[in-house]
Chains A and B, each alone.
Chain A
Amino acid sequence: GESVGLHLPTLSVQEGDNSIINCAYSNSASDYFIWYKQESGKGPQFIIDIRSNMDKRQGQRVTVLLNKTVKHLSLQIAATQPGDSAVYFCAENSGGGADGLTFGKGTHLIIQP
C-alpha cells in the first residue's frame, strides 16, 4: 500500500551544525504534511506543517521543503542544540478536514557535544 517512509533511521550531528531529515511519500493525493518531534516518554510534538501548494516554509530554526515532483519532504534544523535530540516523524494527510495521519518510520536525531 502507499506509505510515508524515511531514508535514514538514525542521524548523528555535532552540536551547532545544521541537520537535514528526509522523508519520501508515495501517496500523490496527499496535500498536507507535518513534522513532529517525539522525545522519550512524550507524545509527538508539532514542529511545522506545509500544504501542497507551497514548496518551502520556515519557522524558528526549522525549514520544511516539499518537492512534489519526486514526492520528497525534508526538515532542516539550523544550529542544532542538545534539546533537538529526539525522534522526528513526517506525517501526511490526504483526506482534508478531520482525517487521520499516516506517519513515516521516524529518524532518531542524535546531537553530539
Chain B
Amino acid sequence: DTEVTQTPKHLVMGMTNKKSLKCEQHMGHRAMYWYKQKAKKPPELMFVYSYEKLSINESVPSRFSPECPNSSLLNLHLHALQPEDSALYLCASSRTGPDSNQPQHFGDGTRLSIL
C-alpha cells in the first residue's frame, strides 16, 4: 500500500465539467508534486509545491489549477479539459530542504478520461 493516497481512482468527465483530484500524505513531507502519465510513457512533471508554495509550473495550461491548502493535501482542479488530457495523474511527495536529494513517493494515481 502506498503512503500517498489519491482520490478518486477513476474519473470520467465531459469537456465542460469542473472536477478536482485530491492527494493526501501524512509522512510530514513538505514537497508535493503532480505528474501526468500517458499510456506506455514515463511520468512528466506538471507542478511542484514546496512548503505549500508553488515553486515549479512546467508551462501547464491554465485549465489545470493546483492548490495546496496545507502541508498534507494537494489538489488539482480541472476545468474545460480536452480529450488529449486523458491520462493517469500521479501525485508524489518528498522531504525537502536545501541541497537535499530525497526520493519522491508516489500514489497510485487518478485515471482520467475526458469525453
Give A contacts to B, CB under 8 Å: 31-32, 34, 36, 41-46, 49, 51, 89, 93, 96-106
Contacts and interface: CB of A to CB of B under 8 A. Distances in A.
Contact of B101 (A32, A41, A100, A105): A32
B61 interface: no
A111 to B, nearest CB: 19
B100 A96 contact: yes
Contacts of B30: 98
B50 A103 contact: no
B59 interface: no
B98 interface: yes
Interface of B: 2, 4, 6, 30-31, 33, 35, 40-45, 48-50, 55-56, 58, 90, 92, 94, 96-101, 103-109
Nearest to B109: A43
A28 B100 CA distance: 18
Contact of A51 (B44, B101, B104): B101
Contact of A42 (B35, B44, B100, B108): B108
B42 A106 contact: yes
Nearest to B33: A100
Contacts, number: 73
A98 B96 contact: yes
A45 B104 CA distance: 9
A96 B101 CA distance: 5
Nearest to B99: A96
A46 B103 contact: yes
Nearest to A47: B103
A103 B43 CA distance: 7
A98 B50 contact: yes
B15 to A, nearest CB: 26
A63 B43 CA distance: 23
A53 to B, nearest CB: 11
27 contacts: A31-B101, A42-B108, A43-B108, A44-B43, A45-B2, A45-B106, A46-B103, A46-B104, A46-B105, A89-B43, A96-B98, A97-B50, A97-B96, A98-B48, A98-B50, A98-B94, A98-B96, A99-B48, A100-B33, A100-B45, A100-B48, A102-B45, A103-B42, A103-B43, A105-B42, A106-B40, A106-B41
